[in-house]
Amino acid sequence: MGRAPCCDKANVKKGPWSPEEDAKLKAYIEANGTGGNWIALPQKIGLKRCGKSCRLRWLNYLRPNIRHGGFSEEEDNIICSLYINIGSRWSIIAAQLPGRTDNDIKNYWNTKLKKKLLGKQRKEQQARRATCLTFKQEMKRETENYPVPGMVNQASHWPLLSPPVMPLPSTHQDPQDSIRNLLVELQSTTNPMNFRYAPDVPFAQYQPYENSMNIIPSASSLSPLNSTCSQVTDGTTTSTQFTVNDVDGPNDVFQGLDGFQAELSELIYSNNQQILDGFEGFYGTGIMVDGSSTGTSSVESSSWGDINSLAYPQIVSGFEACQQQRIPQVSIYDESSYFRPQ
């Protein structure tokens, strides 16, 4: 037997909210809070709306300090990086972008960012393929002009010519590994402010973006890692730090790659230089195709701000430990996070 509907579908209004409805909902919540029961709320204030609809309206539109549109380059970077690391966990991503809602980010990703990234990468990939083709043609011509004894096809003599480092075919490496490797490379650059994802090191730390929101992701998003959570205070402010001991190894971080994530991964892997060009804005570093760093990494050139805050895999790892340590779980949308009645 299916679950009973949360409201009487026949008697609830659907579609866009009117200004009057908005005003009613806003006024009530600002005066009384949600009362911890969204389902009962519309009846209390005389709205013919589903409780879930009220919740969504409040969270995505009416609550204070919501920002719509106008995503900055930095926000783009954060979204992309988080997406690569944790996938479509929009609520977690939203938690790192104060004032943004998961719905907004999801829409922005689906309508603009994804295309922007894919468009750029495909364009560059095509250019690269063209370059590759030219190279092969030159090799072929060279072979014809200077035949190597015993060499019957062009492929067999490539190694002798020490060609430029070309991307490996996708069958040679798990795409998930490629992202991990990328992150390792990024982490291995010398700047201590750089990305601190450390798959071979038993812990990494996470602090919320800009320290503006100490938010623990919902339990449903979390993988069972061996992690701890602690409150850190500098005397004036308190922040939550996650410490992660990834007992199963770094693969956990990359579980669930699919669709565009996999495609991004493939792009990274098959076209390291191009994707890294794209990531330069993210990490403020240049990494050569062979994995070496150009040494251009610098805080100044990075648009990330505190790059330490971007050890995203750890975002999703601290929740259980927090629970164990009885640090109260704060929902991303817990009203106390954004609204405190006077």
Partner DNA sequence: AACTTACCCAACCGCCGCACG
Partner DNA sequence: GCGTGCGGCGGTTGGGTAAGT
Element (H, E) at 143: helix 114-145
CA distance 328 to 231: 11
Q: How far is the CB of 232 from DNA (least distance, A)?
A: 23
309 touches DNA (CB under 7 A): no
Interface positions, 16-45, toward DNA (CB under 7 A): 16-17, 34, 36-40
Q: Of 27, 43, 44, 112, which one interacts with DNA (CB under 7 A)? A: 112
Considering only the stretches 56-64, 267-275, 283-291, 292-300, report the one whose residues sit in contact with DNA under the rule CB under 7 A. Answer: 56-64
CA 308 and chain centroid, separation:
14
- Please choose, from the candidates 83, 24, 141, 71, the residue with its C-alpha nearest in 3D space to the C-alpha of residue 259: 83
Q: Does 340 bind DNA (CB under 7 A)?
A: no
- Intra-chain end-to-end CA distance of the chain, in Å: 45
Interaction between residue 111 and DNA (CB under 7 A): yes
Q: Does 15 bind DNA (CB under 7 A)?
A: yes
- The reply on whether position 77 binds DNA by CB under 7 A is no
Cβ 63 to DNA, closest distance in Å?
12
Cα 223 from chain centre: 16
**Three-class SS of 101-136:** CHHHHHHHHHHHHHHHHHHHHHHHHHHHHHHHHHHH
Q: Is 2 helix (H, G, I), strand (E, B) or coil?
A: coil
Q: Contact with DNA (CB under 7 A): which of 24, 42, 47, 57?
A: 57
Report, in Å, the least distance between residue 234 CB and DNA: 27
Query: Is residue 60 near DNA by the rule CB under 7 A?
Result: yes
Smallest CA-to-CA distance from 29 within 1, 61, 76 is with 61
Cβ 221 to DNA, closest distance in Å? 6
For position 205 contacting DNA by CB under 7 A, the verdict is no
Q: Which residues pair with 206 in a beta bridge?
A: 242
Q: Rule CB under 7 A: which residues touch DNA?
A: 2-4, 6, 9, 13-17, 34, 36-40, 49-53, 55-57, 60-61, 68-69, 88-92, 102-104, 106-108, 110-112, 115, 217-221, 329, 331-334
